[in-house]
Amino acid sequence: MSLPVDSAGTAALAICESLLLALNDRNILPEKEIVGILKDAAAAHENAPSGDDDALNAAVAALINGILDGVTRCGGPDSRHGSDGQGD
């Protein structure tokens, strides 16, 4: 289920990821809320009404679930920092 590269979608994903990480870094949104946002976004596409966008919705849900797997496997957004709290 390969879809063409969408520069607007890629940009939106990068911006949203940065916003979620910044909100977590500044203790505005805890990790569990970020995970909840991602789960809600995936569910919206998984449960979208059937139609012409079935392949797109499935691909979007799979992408978001892949991000979720990475977040939960790595221990959350805070795991990207070293033990001193600074980035790599």
- Looking at residue 7, what is its pLDDT? 87
- Indicate whether 47 belongs to any domain: yes
Is 68 in contact with 35 (CB distance < 8 Å)?
A: yes
- Indicate whether 55 belongs to any domain: yes
Count CA atoms within 13 Å of residue 25 on its CB side: 11
- Indicate whether 85 belongs to any domain: no
| pTM of the predicted structure, to 2 decimals | 0.73
More confident residue, 31 or 5: 31
Counted domains in the chain: 1
- Indicate whether 58 belongs to any domain: yes
- Looking at residue 85, what is its pLDDT? 43
What does the pLDDT look like over 36-87, one tens digit per residue? 999 999 999 999 999 999 999 999 999 999 988 877 766 665 544 443 444 4
Q: What is the CA radius of gyration of the chain?
A: 15
